[in-house]
Structure 1
Amino acid sequence: MAIAPYQLGFSAAHQEGEFNALPIQGTIPSWLRGSLIRTGPGTLEVGQQSYHHWFDGLAMLRKFSFEDGRVSFANRFLESQAYREAKSKGKISRGEFGTTARHSFLERLTDPLPRLTDNATVNITMQGDRFVSVTESPFPIIFDPQSLNTIDQFHYHDHVPGQITTAHPHFDYRENAVYSYLVNLIPRCSYSIYRMDAHSNERTLIGSIPVKQPAYMHTFSMTEHYIILSEYPLKLNRLSLMLSGKPYIENYQWKSDKQTRFLIISKETGEVVHSAESEPFFSFHHVNAFEQNGEVVVDLIAYSDSAVIQSLYLESLLEHPEQVIAAGELRRYRIPLNEAIAHFEVLTSEPVELPRINYQRCNTRPYQFVYGVGSSRSGNFIDQLVKVDIQNRTTQIWRSPDCYPGEPVFVAAPNTTSEDEGVILSVVLNAQTQNSFLLVLDAQSWNELARVELPYHLPFDFHGQYFDAIVPTERTQLHR
């Protein structure tokens, strides 16, 4: 049995701390004045119990703040209801993505959708002018961006139906509004497409799309006029979800004889205006989408099937690193609006995951650069950062011995003319020194500008956002 060299990244953060001035190797650009706030597992254990999947751990917020070339840091557990119950009972109290809370059959029978978790461990965003941490259940958790203290669950002032959602809503800067969807399971299955004004708590249901078996969809795409859902043949057994007691994701079944279906949905009417099919594939993350010459172009990270989900169980990650699928294939799908078939091309030979772009400038538009994490070799998880020029089909790599980087967040420099003028921020685990550091890269040259050293390690996280100010009044201050 191989020992994963990156195993420290799956061990608990044993400290919540605040540091006003972290040591810096290199120089932080003077224009960088704001905060990077991220979320991800802080621990994968509760009492004598362990979570089974990387996506399951109890959420911890992490914040790096920049001012005059200095960097401060804070990290704090997100005190969701799931967290408080787990701490008070000393055991896992709510089912997560790949872990069951072991409720009895009678409990499952009397409560067929038992206590959806509010363990918001996936992403950071803003809703109704509040900073929230979000996951795939529709219960965002509000937190104070200054102290990182948990405030309350975010409550919507509407009745849009749904029990499952995405942690990756889209923001339309033209309309100053959020677009997203919910998966509704009661009484019949459907996708609820909604719009919400930036400063509102009220979602408006645009359309409801009936579906026999909902697909597992982690993200979606948006263009100027359309919402694009990609229904992979990873289909939900609703009865199993209600009665089996199995972890959430194990109620989905991969159907290799089925196609992947793209649904093109009008943002104005909520109606499916076109659909197209492709070969079966799976994806966690869409990258971008836009309309061009009578086609909808969708870029995403693809896998041949859903085996990547199984490979991210902790047993595989820690005991069988050679089996881990750490990154996928960056593909461009073209969907002609007068044809029912979608075709793809591969944009780079380098494996890519956790993709980011210059969101405010490029989302819904043709663009040039994708930033992501990658894997240089089998068995070494995520060990490099990748910049892909999708127009010129070139790739740049950052890699450092014994280092495991996280999602690269692009921050545009002020008054820029070039799409890639800015910096990349990535939280990196150094397995040799047993601590984490914040890496600052020049996004154009891909040269290292600085490392901001932490006194301890942070467990691998998922997503986060950079805010020009932590009490922003306009969404233009959010760098997605």
Structure 2
Amino acid sequence: MGVRAGFETLGQEVDVELEVRGELPPWLAGTLVRNGPAKFETDKGSFRHWFDGLAMLHRFGFAEGAVTYRNRYLETPSYLAARDGGHIAYGEFATDPCRSIFSRFFAHPRLRRTSNANVNVTSDGDRDFALTETPIAVEFDRNTLATVGLADYDDALDGHVTTAHPHRAPLSGDLVNYVLRFGRRSAYRLYRQRGLTRVPLASLPVDRPGYLHSFAITERHVVLAVFPLVVNPLSLLLRARPFIENYRWRPELGTRFLVVDQRDGSVVADERTDAFFAFHHINAYDVDGGVVVDIAAYPDSTVVDALYLDRVRGDAELPLAFPTRYEVDLSGGGVRSRRLAEDSLELPRIAYGSHNGRDYRYAYGVGAHDNGTRDFLNRLVKVDVRSGRTTGWHEPGRYPGEPVFVPAPDARSEDDGVVLSVVLDAGVGRSGLVVLDAATFTELARADVPHAIPFGFHGQFRAR
């Protein structure tokens, strides 16, 4: 079965109490909700890329040492068309529907945008939302995982793509993100969000927009790293190709760092450095005269092609990202960079509540054991970004997902808490939740799920 089980459709939806082996901290109470693709084919077609599969939510509940598990498909128009009609009706990251059959769906711009919110989850305090890279958030009930419906924003801010990684501004608590609107003069439109109202912060014109999966925030600034995987917006209209296949790798453009002041939306730095690519920022913070931006960086964009399903289900080589620091001089002195550690790191997380946008020491992620490229991500990693020292958790035949850090209620240090990760045991074709002590990176407990959970992307923990 091997790693392929992480890229196969999951048909089961269950509500179960899990057997816990080991001992959970008595203070661990709340819910972890994870998001990711779980349906990769329909009766009349198949998705082509890992990023395209239809969204499923997974909820782990923690109380008094016990763990419960529930999973549900996100019942969006994209999912319902596949379930009830058997077809792919909306364009995804690397899969397009049959335009000759579904041309009527493309008469209105809103209907071109998939509602398949399979990347991340967020909350405004009262409501919970699943997110993807189109500006259509999908509300769901955190307890039952029932789909409530598509969110209607109370503003006129429009765009074609966004990120599924909004940030909490460290000082105000507002959600910050951007929408990218394609056109003759495309623009990244940064905004603050309170509830479902988005307030424009800045508009950054761009001729050749880059593909950005995430961005960075500090106490004072918003930072966009525009990688040279770029698109001519006309291609999206004129070429009959899936979204990402219109982008081209142009390393001669270099990577552009745009630093925006949160107070007035002014651009305080616009600097270029050597070409690289990334999906995920680790963290960022202000220093005297500059901004430090830590990124899980690849040398180029070949990782996008490596994640097509026919490749990840086989034995194709997987490019690796490494934690890399970029220091942007706000006085026009350019960008300096250095690798933070020699072990690979992806799907990075930090002690977000206390250290997002601020100086920090520890990052957690997934990586490849011995930096091997012939297996999928098979190691949990903790990086001390100050010393470069790494600590790992690895068991042969097991494939962990994004590690979510949960702080202890009375945390006395940055890494005082636990790390939660969903791990696939490829040998038996089942997944389980593994709980590590974040400080020592040793296993405290695990709880097995009755099926294999397809490899997902991101999740959030909410304390009770």
Q: TM-score, normalised by structure 1?
A: 0.93
Task: After superposing the two structures, state which structure 1 stretch, 137-146 or 183-192, moved more.
Answer: 183-192
Provide the residue aligned with 1:311 in structure 2.
306
2:170 & 2:75 partners in 1: Cα distance?
31
Q: Which amino acid in structure 1 is aligned with residue 131 of structure 2?
A: V
Provide the residue aligned with 1:475 in structure 2.
none
2:31 & 2:67 partners in 1: Cα distance?
9
Choose from 234, 239, 242 the match for 1:239: 234
Change (3 A) 1:358 1:410: same
1:379 & 1:246 partners in 2: Cα distance?
29
Q: Is the 8 A contact 2:33 2:460 kept in 1?
A: yes
Q: SS at 2:99's partner residue?
A: coil
Provide the residue aligned with 2:91 in structure 1.
95
2:386 & 2:411 partners in 1: Cα distance?
20
Structure 2: tracts of 5 or more residues without a match: none
Provide the residue aligned with 1:44 in structure 2.
40
1:367 & 1:109 partners in 2: Cα distance?
46
Provide the residue aligned with 1:135 in structure 2.
132
Task: After superposing the two structures, state which structure 1 stretch, 348-357 or 370-379, moved more.
Answer: 370-379
1:173 & 1:296 partners in 2: Cα distance?
15
Provide the residue aligned with 2:406 in structure 1.
411
Deviation per residue, 1:210-263 (Å, 9 max, x gap): 111111000000011110001111111211212322111111111121110000
Change (3 A) 1:128 1:393: closer
2:129 & 2:226 partners in 1: Cα distance?
27
Q: Is the 8 A contact 1:169 1:178 kept in 2?
A: yes
Deviation per residue, 1:152-180 (Å, 9 max, x gap): 10111001121110000000242121111
Change (3 A) 1:288 1:109: closer
Q: SS at 1:285's partner residue?
A: strand
Q: Is the 8 A contact 2:317 2:375 kept in 1?
A: no
Choose from 155, 176, 188 the match for 1:191: 188
Instruction: Note the C-alpha offset of 1:465.
Output: 0.2
1:261 & 1:317 partners in 2: Cα distance?
30
1:338-349 to structure 2, matched below 5 A, reads 338-349=331-342
Q: Is the 8 A contact 1:423 1:443 kept in 2?
A: yes
Choose from 274, 285, 295 the match for 2:269: 274
Deviation per residue, 1:188-231 (Å, 9 max, x gap): 3101010112xx21110111111111110000000111100011
Choose from 203, 222, 227 the match for 2:222: 227
Instruction: Note the C-alpha offset of 1:73.
Output: 0.6
Instruction: Note the C-alpha offset of 1:5.
Output: 2.7
Instruction: Note the C-alpha offset of 1:113.
Output: 7.5
Provide the residue aligned with 1:126 in structure 2.
123
- Corresponding pairs, count: 461
Choose from 295, 301, 317 the match for 1:323: 317
Structure 1: tracts of 5 or more residues without a match: 470-480
Deviation per residue, 1:21-56 (Å, 9 max, x gap): 211110111100000001101111111421100000
Q: Is residue 204 of structure 1 aligned with residue 199 of structure 2?
A: yes
Q: Is residue 292 of structure 1 aligned with residue 287 of structure 2?
A: yes
1:75-474 to structure 2, matched below 5 A, reads 75-104=71-100, 115-127=112-124, 129-186=126-183, 188-197=185-194, 200-319=195-314, 321-325=315-319, 327-376=320-369, 377-469=372-464
Instruction: Note the C-alpha offset of 1:114.
Output: 5.4
Instruction: Note the C-alpha offset of 1:104.
Output: 3.0
Choose from 35, 43, 53 the match for 1:57: 53
1:113 & 1:124 partners in 2: Cα distance?
21
Q: Is the 8 A contact 1:412 1:422 kept in 2?
A: yes
Q: Which amino acid in structure 1 is aligned with residue 393 of structure 2?
A: W
Deviation per residue, 1:287-331 (Å, 9 max, x gap): 111111211000001111110000000111112x24222x30110
Q: SS at 1:203's partner residue?
A: strand
2:172 & 2:126 partners in 1: Cα distance?
16
Q: Which amino acid in structure 1 is aligned with residue 55 of structure 2?
A: A
Task: After superposing the two structures, state which structure 1 stretch, 451-460 or 113-122, moved more.
Answer: 113-122
1:451 & 1:114 partners in 2: Cα distance?
42
Q: Which amino acid in structure 2 is aligned with residue 162 of structure 1?
A: G
1:452 & 1:388 partners in 2: Cα distance?
25
Provide the residue aligned with 1:29 in structure 2.
25
Q: Is the 8 A contact 1:316 1:324 kept in 2?
A: no
Instruction: Note the C-alpha offset of 1:339.
Output: 2.2
